[in-house]
Amino acid sequence: MLPGTAPAGAAPAEAVIVLVCNGPGELATWVRPLARRLHRDVPLRPLAPAAAIDLQLVLVPCPNATGSEAQVARRMGLFSRVLPAERFWWLLLRPRRHGPWPDHGVVVFLGGDQFWTVLLSWRLGYRHLTYAEWVVRWPRWNDRIAAMGPQAAGRLARRWRPRCEVVGDLMADLSESARSDAPLPPGEWVALMPGSKRAKLQVGVPFLLDTADRLRAQRPGCRFLLPVAPTTSVEELLRYGGPSNPLQSSYSQGAPELREAAGARWLETPAGTLIRLVEEQPAHGALSQCVLALTTVGANTAELGALAVPMLVLVPTQHLHVMQAWDGWLGLLARLPLLSWLLGVALTAWRMRNRGYLAWPNISAGRLVVPERVGAITPAEIAAEALDWLEHPQRLEGVREDLRSLRGQPGAVAALSRLVRELLPAPRTAP
């Protein structure tokens, strides 16, 4: 059986909801919450095996994907079928090769290139809904449009606006799911978030371990946690923190070791700093209890913003030859064979000189809400800045309030679920 195909012998469904996604950030913060809400609102396979509607996930090609998104999605247990990105073109060419497709369905865009969902909905003959953060690129081919805010809705031509409804920011609902039944041990917790892609981990893991050592030396009561991204592993973190990582020698010497204590696993640095590993997904409960986060750029800045966790956003540019985890055509060009090193350095340096805001709270607000530290920064500098923030809790609370004001009201996931269900055919009634 091909990867992503439905189990043999399954009864045919009357309709299907197909969620479309590209990378790990969208999978964790958009797809998972919506899938859970849909299961809550209407009986769906696979959680309701006798239901008449399937919930499926299709992953689309993306240069920023890790390649493990399909495995992560299957572990969620929310989808009757998960189609990996490498099978997407085959799906367009030969849909029936991947199992039966009901006559009725809805394709929902939740990340990637919006054109892929246009193609998919056309090929399958299904209705089409786009969740748009900033712009709707193909309104003509959408039956409904769910806009994050008035900015995306206002960019639509007047003729397409009746199709659009402002539902709000899906990230705003993270605060509702962050109520943890397992509070962290008492202490001043700082989150370390090196990213989930190889290029970011190679720099971020040794950089943040060194930073944690220096911060603990100046503030011994400080405690650290590191959420393990679903697309990476503890073994990878150990490897990136050790001598097999060529960048590790630029930071503290020696490799971290894995420890188990108090019902959790910990990384212990050669300097003796303990870092609690948060392996449950999502890690919102633990993150929401942190007073500060040290993070790379990416979807994690949106998660932290939604949880109202103050952060320092870090882009150490002294390793430009490996910092090629950029979005769009720049990232694609930086991966060209033979020229990748030289081109990656040139493109990344150009982007650093001509950048706008990098953290999602700053992009959303159009101003600097959380600090962004870009350049040849050092762990010593970041530890000193983090110490200054921790010594001024009123400043941290001010940032927290700014983030809360940007977050918006919860309810976007429920509104998007409603729009999806409105596009489904009416259920059959018994004769």
208-230 pLDDT per residue, tens? 999 999 999 999 999 999 999 88
Give dist(CA 68, CA 17) in Å, integer: 22
Report pLDDT for 345.
55
Q: What is the pTM of this model?
A: 0.79
Whether domain 15-168+411-422 has CATH 3.40.50.2000: the reply is yes
Indicate the domain borders of the chain.
15-168+411-422, 188-407
Give dist(CA 203, CA 318) in Å, integer: 10
Report pLDDT for 431.
41
Q: What's the chain's length in residues? A: 431
Superfamily of domain 188-407: Glycogen Phosphorylase B; (3.40.50.2000)
Triad 200, 185, 303: Cα angle to 5°: 35
141-186 pLDDT per residue, tens? 999 999 998 989 999 999 999 999 999 988 888 766 666 557 899 9
Instruction: Tell me, rounded to whole angstroms, the distance of Cα 74 from its chain centroid.
Output: 16
97-132 pLDDT per residue, tens? 887 899 999 999 999 899 999 999 999 999 999 999
In the sheet that 164-166 helps form, which strands lie side by side, from edge to edge? Answer: 81-83, 53-59, 15-21, 104-109, 127-132, 144-147, 164-166
pLDDT higher than threshold 50 for residue 287? yes
**Rounded mean pLDDT, 314-320:** 79
367-394 pLDDT per residue, tens? 999 999 988 899 999 999 999 999 999 9
Three-class HEC string of the chain: CCCCCCCCCCCCCCEEEEEEECCHHHHHHHHHHHHHHHHHHCCCECCCCCCCEEEEEEECCCCCCCCCHHHHHHHHCCCCEEECHHHHHHHHHCHHHHCCCCCEEEEEECCCCHHHHHHHHHHHCCEEEEEECCCCCCHHHCCEEEECCHHHHHCCCHHHHHHEEECCCHHHHHHHHCCCCCCCCCCEEEEEECCCCHHHHHHHHHHHHHHHHHHHHHCCCEEEEEECCCCCCHHHHHHHCCCCCCCHHHCCCCCCEEEEECCEEEEECCCCCEEEEECCCCCHHHHCCCCEEEECCCHHHHHHHHCCCCEEEEEEHHHCCCCCCCCHHHHHHCCCCCCHHHHHHHHHHHHHHCCCCCCHHHHHHCCCCCCEEEECCCHHHHHHHHHHHHCCHHHHHHHHHHHHHHHCCCCHHHHHHHHHHHCCCCCCCCC
Neighbouring C-alpha atoms within 13 Å toward the C-beta of 358: 21
pLDDT higher than threshold 60 for residue 326? no
Q: Do domains 15-168+411-422 and 188-407 have the same CATH topology?
A: yes
Residue given tokens 């500060």 in the structure block: 292
Report pLDDT for 329.
47
Residue 1: pLDDT band with limits 50, 70, 90: very low
Q: Is 336 exposed, middle or buried (0-12, 13-18, 19+ CB in 10 A)?
A: exposed
